[in-house]
Amino acid sequence: MKTIKKIFYFTIFLSFTCFAQEEDPLEYYPHNVGDAWQYERVPVGTIRTIQITRVDTSADGNEHYIFHGNSDISYEKVVVDSALVYYSGNPNPWYKLDVPIGSIWIREEGVEWVKYGRDDIDYKWGQELQTKTFYNYYWDPPDSSSGYAGSAEVLARGIGILKYEWEGGKEELTGCIINGVQYGTIVGVEENSNEELVDNYQLESYPNPFNEQTQIYYYIPKSSLVTIKIYNILGQVIDQISKGIKEAGEYIINWKPKSLSSGVYIVSMQVGNKIVNSVKINLLK
């Protein structure tokens, strides 16, 4: 009888041990060199590709710095012991991966709050994916009477960011390469490739969301004819803020829209005749 009890308790111990291992929160944010993600933006139809080209680790191994392309203009920081993800030097966490459902935190001071909304199951590429959904609230926190969720971000275990959704559009993952394994369809990216990638043309906007003006940062790896345009969610061009031949390097454009209503807009970066990157921005008045 004692032997049976020992086996029973040992089985329970193994079950809890395996469950704990399976629930590593960092599995929702893989970040190996060579990992790549390709997204399609709807209804605009543009394709955005992200690939990790470098990961630096702090001396104690607790902080991982993730870079894309050949520029240090933007990066992500993953803090291992607390499962926090930071973007581009922002002092506030972008994601908290090991907190209870319903947790709320500030992403951008006075502008954006995040609420960890729910765990769910999604189905993609014939697989069942465990997901975490984060809701973004602008200008007012979720627990205020005027707070509203303006967009949502869904992370999938073992995959990373699965999709972004906002009123009038979304950006959804069409394929990825994670730790050498390909899922779905991804075009023009090879594992650990040193060839020029679409993601080497970097584009970013800060602050985002914004009220009166925002700064648009971009990087090009070689001399190119670059055009930066702003689209509405219907795919109509509403502004062209830069066009010309640029030398390799980083550039900043201050954009102050006039007579535009609050809403979601798309910044598009075109090199020659090809759109190489685009980002969603939120104008809130």
For residues 41 and 129, state if they share a domain: yes
Residue 77: count of CB within 10 angstroms of its CB: 19
What's the sign of the alpha-carbon dihedral 263, 269, 275, 277?
negative
For residues 245 and 115, state if they share a domain: no
pLDDT at res. 35: 92
- Asked if 88 and 206 touch (Cβ cutoff 8 Å), the reply is yes
pLDDT at res. 103: 95
pLDDT at res. 190: 53
Q: Of 131, 153, 184, which residue is a domain's last?
A: 184
Please tell me which residue, 215 or 110, carries the higher pLDDT value.
215
CATH number, domain with residue 251? 2.60.40.1930
For residues 172 and 231, state if they share a domain: no
Q: Of 150, 184, 218, which residue is a domain's last?
A: 184
Q: How confident is the model at residue 138 (pLDDT cuts 50, 70, 90)?
A: confident
Residue 174: count of CB within 10 angstroms of its CB: 17
Please tell me which residue, 88 or 185, carries the higher pLDDT value.
185
What mean pLDDT do residues 266-274 have? 84
pLDDT digits (tens, 9 = 90+) for 202-259: 888 888 888 888 889 888 888 888 999 998 877 788 899 888 888 888 888 999 888 8
Residue 164 lies in a domain: yes
For residues 157 and 275, state if they share a domain: no
For residues 126 and 207, state if they share a domain: no
- Asked if 117 and 147 touch (Cβ cutoff 8 Å), the reply is no
pLDDT digits (tens, 9 = 90+) for 6-31: 444 444 444 444 444 457 999 999 99
Residue 6 lies in a domain: no
pLDDT digits (tens, 9 = 90+) for 94-108: 999 999 999 999 988
Mean confidence (pLDDT) of the chain: 82
- Of all residues in the chain, what percent carry a pLDDT higher than 90? 32
Residue 196 lies in a domain: no
Would you say residue 159 has pLDDT above 60?
yes
For residues 97 and 68, state if they share a domain: yes
pTM of the model: 0.67
AA identity, residue 54: R
Residue 256: count of CB within 10 angstroms of its CB: 8
Would you say residue 78 has pLDDT above 70?
yes
Q: Which of 49-58, 151-160, 182-191 bottoms out in mean pLDDT, i.e. has the lowest?
A: 182-191
For residues 263 and 222, state if they share a domain: yes
Q: How confident is the model at residue 73 (pLDDT cuts 50, 70, 90)?
A: low
Residue 74: count of CB within 10 angstroms of its CB: 18
Residues 6+ apart with CB under 8 A from 141: 104, 113, 147
For residues 93 and 231, state if they share a domain: no
Distance CA 193, CA 115 (A): 37
Domain containing 43: what range? 27-184
- Tokens 């086996």 correspond to 7
